[in-house]
Structure 1
């Protein structure tokens, strides 16, 4: 009569996006990646990942992916490890298997239960002017670091 329904899906599900660029599990890249299309990273990247603000570019860090550097893109999905700051112009999604060691700026965010985060989280307006974002973010981060309390 009263059967318990177990959820068979997690709240966040990796989309069926098309990736023309894939950095494989055994690859290790050192340097800055400037994107013109979406990318999935299953290997290791030491350096920054930058996508233009006016595009709709996604960066997906798979469960085995590891980034040592900042990631700047419209949409960022993390299932692996990031040691650096994330700046999602539209959305940031943190999966249960993720470890993020850095600050997160986002317009919209979703965090799965079990994800590990260490850093300041700051919501911004979607596609806000970069100068305004950086000034507001820096002020909030400075205040949180000195007082231990966000604005």
Structure 2
């Protein structure tokens, strides 16, 4: 039987001191309440709690910060800073919310939110998919041209729907 869990059922609430690299390939609702140092890559929602102290570069979909973060943030969907958040680092995101009392000390790069068609399925570039799958871009391009991966060729470049890629992975279509 296929494993089908909703994102809100995969909740990880961490109140500990950790160091290293943490990568979540499947969507998860992660909340950090303690200390973390290193690198963090998530799918789904990441919340840095009010008492958390994080020294890391963070990459994710939806990032909510109420604690202290030192490091660069890159979010594909949104970043929200709520008091008493203090972020020291650069931020890249298509949507940013900074509530009164929260602090951002760094540069901001607002990304375009690329939506297509029905359901607002986000599109990804060849490089994004290669990074997400942890393979070389030429491998993803080869798969796309051979129709081994769901993709569309638009305006001279391959485009991928994030939802289709996630379903493709869930159905175990890729075996690098």
- TM-score, with normalisation over the residues of structure 1? 0.67
Cα deviation 1:78-105 (Å, max 9, x = unaligned): 0000000111100000002000000000
Task: Identify, as 1 or 2, the structure richer in helix.
Answer: 2
How big is each residue's C-alpha offset from its partner over 1:9-47, in whole Å with a ceiling of 9 and x where there is no partner?
Answer: xxxxxxxx66521111xx100101111312000001101
Q: Distance in 1 between matches of 2:36 and 2:18?
A: 5
Corresponding position of 2:21: 32
Superposition TM-score, scaled by structure 2 size: 0.58
Match of 1:45 in 2: 36
Equivalent residue runs for 1:56-95 within 5 Å: 57-95=44-82
Q: Secondary structure at the residue paired with 1:31?
A: strand
Q: CA 1:18 to 1:94, structure 2 compared with 1: closer, same or farther past 3 Å?
A: farther
Distance (whole Å) between structure 2 residues aligned to residue 90 and residue 21 of structure 1: 20
User: Does the 8 A contact of 1:79 with 1:98 survive in 2?
Assistant: yes
Unaligned runs of at least 5 residues, structure 2: 1-7, 114-121, 129-176
Alignment pair present for 1:21 and 2:12: yes
Comparing both chains, which one has the higher relative contact order based on Cα–Cα distances under 8 Å and sequence gaps of 6 or more?
1
- Backbone CA RMSD of aligned residues: 1.9
Alignment size in residue pairs: 110
Name the CA distance, whole Å, in 2 between partners of 1:82 and 1:107.
19
Moved over 3 A (4+): 127-132
Q: 1:117: how far off?
A: 1.2
Alignment partner of 1:63: what SS? coil
Matched residue SS, 2:83: coil
Unmatched 5+ residue regions in structure 1? 1-16, 133-151
